[in-house]
Amino acid sequence: MAEMNCDVVVVGAGNAALSAALAAREHGASVVVLERAPEAESGGNSRFSAGAIRTVYNGVDDLRKLIPELSEEEIAGTDFGTYAREQFYDDMGRITEHRSDPDLAGLLVERSLETLSWLRGKGVCFAPAYRRHAFKMGGRTRFWGGLAVEASGGGPGLVAAEHDAARRNGIPILYRTRALRLLQAERRVTGVQVRHGERSFDIAAKAVVLASGGFEANAEWRTRYLGPGWDLAKVRGTRFNTGDGLRMALEAGAMPWGNWSGCHAVAWDRNAPDFGDLAVGENFQKHSYPFGIIVNANGRRFLDEGADFRSYTYAKYGRAILEQPAQTAWQIFDGKVLHLLREEYRIPQVTKVRGDSIEELAQKLEGIDRQALVTEVATYNRAVRQDIPFNPTIRDGRRTEWLGVQKSNWANVLDTPPFEAFQVTCGITFTFGGLRIDTAGRVIDTDGEPIPGLFAAGELVGGIFYFNYPGGTGLLSGTVFGRIAGDSAGSAAAVSV
């Protein structure tokens, strides 16, 4: 006999999980949240994020629905632009090479603003993403790349607000409680077997929502599904996302779905710890590369740093760095652009070298072909189209010519000291492969039928992201599909006998 009973069990305690729990509670369901981590490390990958959330908005009036605190002074001094439905659809199609499930992508786009407004109603506050997605040009602050909104306090602020909302709504969170397997009667999921300390016990439920993240913290699974070398990647976020939810669902007959060989992976400080550090958070990332060049240990460029706004390329460039010799690279900038570098380049833990010339800089870099680097920079400098104006708020077309690896935008000659170089490796954020769900958040089995009583949201949903990722859609996806899964689970519990 089960030691606990409730209407809905939610596995996980990050943004997707808490969105599901809050949505299920709206139906009057009793909800229990299971968190494998101790309370000090709770919140999943959401807590390690910068908090940027992509959403459709047609102007400042839409943004005011999320940020009613916007002052008239801020509005007068800021060009927020717009991010129309059509732009979001185009970005999802272009970035995923048109493989994203059209029904799920449609929900992501169409429900973005509405769902964030719902989350605001639960006590989550938002703010303009001034620090990361805007530059001051011509006396006004201008947003770029379709990202104008972030959770107040970043990922930690988002998770804290959602945990507070859970407590206000009478939703207990059981910390250090790991889900082991799904309980089933015939095909129907009837609860979860869990372990707390040395004790295992069953929790009976009318519905279960899996929202416990992907398998990015599981080195064996990374190598199995992503390929050789991925065991060497650093993990940006929580050490607890080892694929438990995926394993349980697959054992219960769920259909694996989506890009199981793909993931979100970025340029990450070479000497960062193996797993995320909550004291540093996302600041080990190094995302200002469009304003400089990136070279490998052979001293050669190997990708187009200016292919697009960084929010459309950063999630795939971690893979490119992992494929380089020694799984490392150096980002190099000159004095003209140092003021544009994000705050993450100024943390005490950064791996950084400075020189008054490229030759001096090269001599200070470890594990690199120094002469090849000097030659590479000279060749790159000759190829820059200096007749095209530099503008960091648009794809400015300031490019190189005739190089084997071109730079498409924001190309500047590296000629102004001081020169700074930052060593990076691959940091994996989350995996793209997961479970197949329908538009109600129900988990689909290998026969193409919903598994009664089982729902899913967040990173362990497959079919949304392929190859790459538009920045800010991870938290949005967790919120949108968490709310959908929770709403469906709450409804199912209400009619279950």
- 342: domain CATH number is 3.90.700.10
Residue with tokens 């050669």: 300
Q: Are residues 412 and 287 in the same domain?
A: yes
Q: Are residues 415 and 453 in the same domain?
A: no
**Which has the higher per-residue pLDDT, 133 or 400?**
400
Q: Are residues 39 and 110 in the same domain?
A: yes
Q: Are residues 462 and 356 in the same domain?
A: no
pLDDT at 4 over 90: no
Whole-prediction pTM value? 0.95
- Kindly report whether the peptide bond that precedes residue 417 is cis, defined as omega within 30 degrees of 0: no
Nearest to 266 by CA among 318, 329, 321: 318
Q: Are residues 125 and 8 in the same domain?
A: yes
Q: Are residues 33 and 18 in the same domain?
A: yes
pLDDT attached to residue 2 = 64
pLDDT attached to residue 496 = 64
How large a percentage of the chain has pLDDT more than 90?
93
* CA count, 13 A, side-chain hemisphere, 317: 35
If you average pLDDT over every residue of the chain, what do you get? 96
Q: Are residues 414 and 449 in the same domain?
A: no
Report the alpha-carbon distance of residue 469 to residue 90 in Å, rounded.
13
Q: Are residues 182 and 306 in the same domain?
A: no
Residue 20: partners with Cβ closer than 8 Å, 6 or more residues away? 10, 209, 211, 455, 457, 482, 483, 485, 486, 489
pLDDT attached to residue 495 = 78
Which structural domain range is residue 51 located in? 4-215+432-495
Q: Of 427, 451, 472, which one is at a domain's C-terminal end?
A: 427
Q: Of 392, 408, 427, which one is at a domain's C-terminal end?
A: 427
Q: Is residue 8 part of a domain?
A: yes
Q: Is residue 191 part of a domain?
A: yes
Main-chain phi, psi angles of 179, to 5 degrees: -75, 130
Mean pLDDT of 447-463: 98
Residue 139: partners with Cβ closer than 8 Å, 6 or more residues away? none
pLDDT-based confidence at 137, cuts 50/70/90?
Answer: confident
pLDDT at 133 over 60: yes
pLDDT at 151 over 90: yes
pLDDT at 135 over 90: no
Q: Of 408, 427, 446, which one is at a domain's C-terminal end?
A: 427
CA angle 385, 376, 321 (to 5 degrees): 100
Q: Is residue 452 part of a domain?
A: yes
Q: Answer for the pair 55, 78: CB distance below 8 angstroms, yes or no.
A: no
Q: Is residue 260 part of a domain?
A: no
Measured in residues, the chain has a length of 497
Q: Are residues 153 and 81 in the same domain?
A: yes
Q: Are residues 357 and 491 in the same domain?
A: no
Q: Is residue 246 part of a domain?
A: no
396-425 pLDDT, tens digit each: 999 999 999 999 999 999 999 999 999 999
44-100 pLDDT, tens digit each: 999 999 999 999 999 999 999 999 999 999 998 998 999 999 999 999 999 999 999
Q: Are residues 405 and 449 in the same domain?
A: no
Q: What's the total number of domains in the chain?
A: 2
pLDDT attached to residue 429 = 97
369-385 pLDDT, tens digit each: 999 999 999 999 999 99
CATH of the domain at 191: 3.50.50.60
